[in-house]
Chain A
Amino acid sequence: EAQVTQNPRYLITVTGKKLTVTCSQNMNHEYMSWYRQDPGLGLRQIYYSMNVEVTDKGDVPEGYKVSRKEKRNFPLILESPSPNQTSLYFCASSSSAGNEQFFGPGTRLTVL
């Protein structure tokens, strides 16, 4: 089944404790992206990747890192999480920029 998977689905952590949210797609898509969803603000793009080893900042990249060492994986790294990073995070992929994005199920992160 073609899908985008994220792990974990739920995470509660404390300020400053490094964490990684994994994202994987099995559709051989070139374009992958991370978003955060906050009430009243919609989805905001954090980082995107056009292909392996090619990443670019979205609108809200501060406090986040990403890597794209393999085509299928695009992990989101929070080196030192802070409470303002409490949010619902979505990973998405598409065959190329501009084509339909397929979204993962979301990761709800709480930073205390």
Chain B
Amino acid sequence: GEDVEQSLFLSVREGDSSVINCTYTDSSSTYLYWYKQEPGAGLQLLTYIFSNMDMKQDQRLTVLLNKKDKHLSLRIADTQTGDSAIYFCAEVGPSGTYKYIFGTGTRLKVLA
């Protein structure tokens, strides 16, 4: 079955880089996403990558996709206190469906 896994917590110092990792099980998914959830709010899309890409950069964000290992990562450069949030990876389209499968979320804490 489909499964998306993330580590639950990450703590970094302000100004350092953060790397949040995600593993997924269904290689047929066409899109992979990173969403951010701030306290008390819904989720907001941060960035996404198509399954035929290896890397995508968007300002401070870099997404790396290793299809062979089914591994997705999100790197945040120069992490700021405002980046403290829960980050979810997600895939859509496993097994030819239009279902979304979200990971468990990684809580990022940025220390000043």
With A31-B98, A56-B98, A98-B93 as contacts: A90 and B42 at CB distance below 8 Å = yes
Among the 9-residue stretches A12-20, A63-71, A79-87, A103-111, the one with 4 or more Cβ atoms under 8 Å from chain B is A103-111
Choose one: A44, A90, A97, A104; the contact of B93 (CB below 8 Å).
A97
- The residues of B that contact A103 with a CB separation of less than 8 Å are 42-44
Interface pair A105/B8, CB less than 8 Å apart: no
Interface pair A50/B104, CB less than 8 Å apart: no
Interface pair B88/A43, CB less than 8 Å apart: yes
Find residues 55-89 in chain B having any chain A CB closer than 8 Å to their own CB: 88
Size category of the A interface is 20 to 34
Choose one: A31, A58, A59, A104; the contact of B42 (CB below 8 Å).
A104
With A40-B8, A44-B102, A48-B100 as contacts: A98 and B92 at CB distance below 8 Å = yes
Choose one: A40, A92, A98; the contact of B30 (CB below 8 Å).
A98
Choose one: A56, A58, A90; the contact of B43 (CB below 8 Å).
A90
Size category of the B interface is 20 to 34
- Mark A25-45 against chain B: 1 for CB-CB distance below 8 A, else 0: 000000101010000111111
In the complex, what distance in Å separates the CA atom of A106 from the CA atom of B42? Answer: 6
Interface pair A45/B100, CB less than 8 Å apart: yes
- The residues of A that contact B99 with a CB separation of less than 8 Å are 45, 48, 56, 58-59
Give A residues with C-beta under 8 Å from B: 4, 31, 33, 35, 40-45, 48, 50, 56, 58-59, 90, 92, 97-98, 100-101, 103-106
Give B residues with C-beta under 8 Å from A: 2, 4, 6, 8, 30-31, 41-45, 48, 88, 90, 92-93, 97-105
